[in-house]
Amino acid sequence: MDLTLITESVPKILSGIGITFQLMLLSAILGLILAVILLLMRLSGKWYLSWPAQIHIYIFRGTPILVQIFIIYYGLPQFEFVRDSIFWPILREPFGCAVVALTLNTGAYVCEILRGGVLGVDHGILEAGSALGLSAQQKFIYLTTPIAARIALPAYSNDFISLMKATSLASTITLMDMTGIARTIVAQTFAPYEIFISLAIIYMILTWVIQKTFGRIEKYLSHYVNP
Amino acid sequence: MEAVDGWWDDYFWGSMIVLQVFFFSLILMVIFGLIGAAAKLSDNVVAQKIAGAYTIIFRGTPEILVILLLYFGSAITLTAIVQIFSPDTKFVDVPPLWAGTIAIALIVGSYATETFRGAFLGVKEGSIEAARALGMSDLQTFIYVRIPEMWRLALPPFGNHMLSLIKDTALISIIGLNETFFVAKQAIGTTGEPFTMYIVVGGIYLAFSSIVTLSVMGMEKFGARTGEGAR
């Protein structure tokens, strides 16, 4: 164990935490929006909305995220029309491609989690809503949404952690996030244990922080269920 | 798609490597998961602590990092050991297939630990009491009551673990395993059609995960034939 190497490299690795956070938060927000859209498409009951959503979910859950990142970053520029399109400024940059890939991927997973939440809403509550004269839309907004969100939260926190871990794959398309920096240092020093274990500890701390944060939110959301 | 024409056999052999990794990592994953679950359920505090650390470490670290650490780490350690016996050895090569297989088995095994633990805890107290009443020994209870009841509970999450194994195989290409993803990289070098080549990889993985999903559905149906509400 080379302690000076660790004390020298950890600050360097941490300089990439900004990119890790940007990738994570941007993809999480965009992914959640995508997931809600996909969910509404699935629940619409119209085949021309529900099928595309199901195909998206099937493809993005059935293939490795690494393949998705590579198709978007290396694959799409093969086409002239992609390079001429308005999306080119995003798809030209590895950061943009990583966000697009992570968003499409996490959106598919989160949609299934949210669907589980919606299906878990007690029927009696919806009947009570009907008895009170709420419209279908009102029932969805005031009854289904808050209860489904609470049911889905534990599974969502797991997916959020998966997303955080998946940001490390951005290092494969030349992005200098924490993993990218660590791999460069290992290539120079050839000290995998020191560098990679330090990085693993940083990721574990992040995982722990995310878990605690979601635990807090869960407690807050259920304060009137278990007072 | 004509560009793929000369590459189908390479993709085929790449797919065989995916299958090989899947097969071996599946066996190892079940073993790691069962050991982890047994340790967590045991009365031994040390075993519980070790199993707890195992799940925290491997569930909290990115998969790619575990693979890189295991690959480069084992290469360095093995080199150091070999150099004690024959000092003129420069470097020992660790096969990426084995480093990668063990790495993804360890990762997914940490998730399987929780699955198996939950499934064993989900076995109904009444079933075990019934087995006792019939005069079954502990071993018989384990084989005829606990196992048949727990695998049904474990099956849906276990199906997801198998999908993770298949998909994580792609990550092993980063340390040089010549599976389909690696084949695509070579093919792009000569054809210059990255989209086509990676779409083929995606299609192969989609086929594999569909087969896994369908088999798990079949097994669930098989398991449910004697369950509650079955006739």
With CB atoms and an 8 Å threshold, state whether B64 touches A179.
yes
Query: How sure is the predictor about B230, in pLDDT bands with cuts at 50, 70 and 90?
Result: very low
The per-residue pLDDT for B223 is 86
List b or e across B111-145, with b for residues whose CB sees 16 or more CB atoms inside 10 angstroms.
bbbbbbbebbeebeeeebeebeeeebeeeebeeeb
With CB atoms and an 8 Å threshold, state whether B62 touches A62.
no
Distance CA A80, CA A49 (A): 29
The per-residue pLDDT for A172 is 93
Distance CA A197, CA B74 (A): 13
- Among the partner-chain residues A63, A71, A179, the one whose CB lies closest to the CB of B62 is A179
What percent of chain A shows pLDDT beyond 90?
78
Digit-coded pLDDT (tens) for A6-57: 888 899 999 999 999 999 999 999 999 999 999 999 998 899 999 999 999 9
The per-residue pLDDT for A162 is 95
Query: How sure is the predictor about B186, in pLDDT bands with cuts at 50, 70 and 90?
Result: confident
Residues with Cβ within 8 Å of residue B167, at least 6 apart in sequence: A63, A64, A65, B205, B209
Q: Note the CATH number of domain A19-175.
A: 1.10.3720.10
Give the mean model confidence (pLDDT) for residues A127-134. 93
Question: What angle, rounded to 10 degrees, do the helices at A94-119 and A145-166 form?
Answer: 150
For residue B89, is pLDDT > 90?
Answer: no
The per-residue pLDDT for B228 is 59
Smallest CA-to-CA distance from B37 within B120, B148, B102 is with: B120
Please state the domain extents for chain B.
Answer: 33-177
Chain A neighbours among B 196-225 (CB < 8 Å)? 196-199, 201-202, 205-206, 209-210, 213
- Among the partner-chain residues B65, B171, B184, the one whose CB lies closest to the CB of A200 is B65
The per-residue pLDDT for B117 is 94
The per-residue pLDDT for A46 is 93
Digit-coded pLDDT (tens) for B63-84: 999 999 999 999 888 888 888 8
Q: Note the CATH number of domain B33-177.
A: 1.10.3720.10
Query: How sure is the predictor about A190, in pLDDT bands with cuts at 50, 70 and 90?
Result: confident
With CB atoms and an 8 Å threshold, state whether A165 touches B72.
no
In angstroms, the separation between the Cα of residue A139 and the nearest Cα of chain B is 31
Give the mean model confidence (pLDDT) for residues B40-61. 94
Digit-coded pLDDT (tens) for A155-166: 999 999 999 999
For residue B102, is pLDDT > 90?
Answer: yes
Residues with Cβ within 8 Å of residue B163, at least 6 apart in sequence: A61, A62, B209, B212, B213
Residues of B in contact with A66 (CB under 8 A): 170-171, 173-174, 181
